[in-house]
């Protein structure tokens, strides 16, 4: 990813209001191809509203929204159907789009190894760990987009040990597949560990309080936790949030 990489997502001066409550106020951000960008902010400040505007579920009241590619959206809960196998859950969007089951399964099968789900194609969600279910959900999201992933607190529903393992795994799979990611999180350390850039939002009505480049150890993110740059960015974010 470079500053000249193609822009995949862009918001310019986006505003949103529900009745008399302003939720988003003049939000501008960009996500380039191959980049991992994180949006961080207080609970209830409008981060999920931002995602819903990008997916087209909601219309912005003002500003510009540009999406150059196909979006896959993963929410906090894995939303796997308990009566379907892992494979059937993963290929469901393709089937809904009209692809025959056999063809969809053939397309998905090579990715089961990359997503550490090999051997669990015929397992049901109750037979899978929380981390496996999240990886299955992410695989489904990836296959339904193959281009731009919107992740809304993707690891928020698992315990801290599993969360750490999933973070390390996402670093690997993102590098392997060259993913373009826009992620929401409340976890400051997760944001600093995974991101290339971080947008810090103010409380409602949300505006961009800070845009922080996380350009240290970009090719070795797994070791960021032990780098002074990690603490510097964490301190900057805490200072931004303390300004509420």
- Residues 138-172 have pLDDT tens digits of 899 888 886 789 998 888 767 888 888 889 989 98
Say yes or no to pLDDT of 216 above 80.
Answer: yes
- The DSSP line for 160-212 is HHHHHHHHHHHHHHHHHHT-EEEEEES-HHHHHHH-SEEEEE-SSSB-EEEEE
Helix (H) or strand (E) holding 30: strand 21-32
Which pLDDT does position 4 carry in this prediction?
62
DSSP three-state, residue 39: strand
**CB-CB neighbours of 124 under 10 Å:** 16
Which pLDDT does position 154 carry in this prediction?
84
pLDDT tens per residue across span 48-90: 899 899 988 899 999 999 999 888 888 777 788 999 999 999 9
């Amino acid at each position: 990813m470079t500053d000249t990489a193609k822009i995949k997502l862009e918001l310019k001066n986006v505003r949103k209001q529900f009745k008399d409550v302003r939720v988003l106020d003049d939000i501008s951000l960009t996500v380039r191809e191959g980049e991992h960008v994180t949006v961080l902010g207080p609970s209830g400040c409008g981060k999920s509203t931002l995602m819903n505007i990008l997916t087209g579920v909601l219309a912005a009241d003002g500003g510009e929204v540009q999406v150059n590619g196909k979006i896959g959206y993963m929410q906090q809960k894995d939303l796997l159907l308990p009566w379907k196998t892992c494979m059937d859950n993963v290929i469901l969007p393709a089937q809904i789009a009209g692809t025959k089951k056999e063809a969809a399964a053939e397309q998905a099968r090579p990715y089961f190894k990359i997503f550490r789900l090999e051997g669990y194609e015929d397992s049901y969600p109750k037979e899978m760990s929380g981390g496996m279910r999240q990886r299955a959900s992410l695989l489904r999201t990836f296959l339904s987009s193959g281009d731009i992933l919107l992740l809304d607190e993707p690891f928020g529903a698992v315990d801290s040990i599993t969360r750490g393992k999933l973070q390390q795994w996402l670093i690997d799979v993102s590098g392997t597949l060259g993913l373009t990611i826009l992620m929401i999180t409340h976890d400051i350390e997760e944001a600093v560990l995974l991101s290339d850039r971080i947008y810090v939002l103010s409380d409602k009505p949300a505006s961009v309080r800070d845009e922080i480049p996380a350009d240290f150890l970009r090719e070795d993110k797994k070791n960021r936790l032990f780098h002074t740059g990690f603490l510097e960015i964490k301190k900057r974010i805490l200072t931004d949030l303390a300004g509420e």
